[in-house]
Chain A
């Protein structure tokens, strides 16, 4: 991403000494902390970087590559492209905390699906937030997808049930289900999500075929608990990280990858329809290490 500039500066500055000494390691550590990897994950990565190399002469570019390599070791196994399956309809449930980028991501993913020739239906199961339906409807128009909705305040699970039926009857290929933002510590809202999943299963035991958790790159350590709780409640199958076009580096993904091994599918890099890219573990790691792309 565009996020590597300040890191490049701080890491290059270290290497007048060109020795992997304590001070150097501390500066590498700072860089990872500032990228939101968290204290524990940072500690492990730094240990891996220094293992067998401590006090050895080393080129600045090389140490950055080593750092990127250690981060990539964690991320590479979870770099999984998102594919639409052949189930009909292929049901994609999108979940996450408030304002993370769920609705926008559905628009972007839906555009890809439509471009691949699939018929797409969107279900506006955020029946809470003001104008959530109108927002999804705009995206539906942009990508030529039908939007199934009910008035604000309607039961989200009831709508999910009907949307499943309607998408089936329509012979749709892909059904995206948008949900209201919810903080993972709110038991009642998580119970509502659990119910949405259950009614989907009533219509098709194998659905939802993908449950995408949308994480905001600006979020710090709380994203770990988001991944944990949403997985427990809704059976998250993969992650999408948004807002990587800012200066936040999203390093919390490294901690999440270590802990939960959840596939990371894609990253959001803007507000427009084309601003979704497949997750690239190496590029992501190089950005964290301050290496130019």
Chain B
């Protein structure tokens, strides 16, 4: 749908400039296109601004190596800066604590918390041989607790028995004591979806956090999120305190700018990506892949790397 940044930059830059170092004027022209490309990829405006400043500083005066065009050079600089912000590969879940290790899942309505809870539990149980207990603290959405129970059956992960009428706080306490009693390694707490401006429900999540004292509090967010990504990530981090982000619906064809927005604004690592509805649709985060996707580009990076 969009022509790639690469094409646009070749259009404007490669005509203007000969070889040698990138001039300030060249870089300014290029940055207008970079800005546009990032906004079209749903990177939040404030994050775009900071990013452009950073890239500009690096690009002005950069020597253009012989085998590439100035456009490719700029794309490479942009790409590298983006990967830097997105963080390094495979920032694994931190399970270093005496068991049961609690993991708290939070996020907006419908972002994929329950599904991701089951995916992570399945992975920990199958790959890392941990004994996992899942508990749904979602007493609000119709059939939310049943959903997790079914996913437990599908994955062979135990779920905390449902007791109707209990509050999320009561369920959290019961989950912790059951996990201790049952000798579980990990206890996953799935919560109801909540808006990042819903003070009452944020306070409830904070209360759950204080009871469970989670090792990880993961913000589950949709990779298709637009400009609101910064608001939601900032609020969840401020009000509950997140340790990482899981980006769902990476299997969609969204450009994924929300990754840069949320990472940029919270500094918290993106730990995992959801890549499907099925319960094996979970992958480690690949900053290179996401950077390439945000920029809508193919193999420019490897091209420049070989040069």
A residues lining the B interface (CB < 8 Å)? 2, 30, 33-36, 38-39, 97-101, 128-131, 134-135, 137-139, 152, 181, 183-186, 216-225, 243, 245-248, 252, 271
Which chain B residue has the least Cβ–Cβ distance from A142?
A: B142
What is the bound-complex CA distance between A219 and B222, given in angstroms? 8
The yes or no answer to B269 lying at the interface (CB within 8 A) is no
B247 within 8 A of A: no
Partner of B224, one of A2, A39, A130, A220: A220
User: For residues 224 through 264 of chain B, which have their beta carbon under 8 Å from a beta carbon of chain A?
Assistant: 224-228, 231-232, 249, 251-255, 257-258
Cβ-defined partner of A222 (8 Å) among B110, B112, B252:
B252
Q: Which residue of B lies closest to A217 (CB)?
A: B228
Tell me whether chain A's interface is mostly helix, strand or loop, or mixed. loop
CB contacts (< 8 Å) of B222 on chain A: these are: 99, 216, 218-219
State the CA gap A38–B149 with chains docked (Å): 40
A220 lies within 8 A of B42 (CB): yes
B residues bordering A, Cβ < 8 Å? Answer: 1, 36, 39-42, 44-45, 108-112, 140-144, 146-151, 154, 195-197, 222, 224-228, 231-232, 249, 251-255, 257-258, 277
Q: Is the interface of B mostly helix, strand, loop or mixed?
A: loop
Other A-B pairs, 17, CB within 8 Å; known A134-B146, A221-B254, A243-B108 = A38-B40, A97-B224, A98-B277, A130-B146, A131-B150, A138-B143, A139-B142, A185-B251, A218-B222, A218-B225, A218-B226, A219-B225, A220-B226, A220-B257, A222-B255, A248-B226, A248-B228
Name the A residues within 8 Å of B140 (CB-CB).
Answer: 271
A138 contacts across to B, CB distance below 8 A: 142-143
- Cα distance A152–B149 in the bound complex, in angstroms: 14
Closest to B274 in A: A98
Q: How far is the CB of A141 from chain B (nearest CB, A)?
A: 9
Task: Decide: A271 near B109, CB < 8 A? Known: A30-B45, A98-B249.
Answer: yes
Q: Which of A130, A220, A271 is B141 in contact with, Cβ under 8 Å?
A: A271
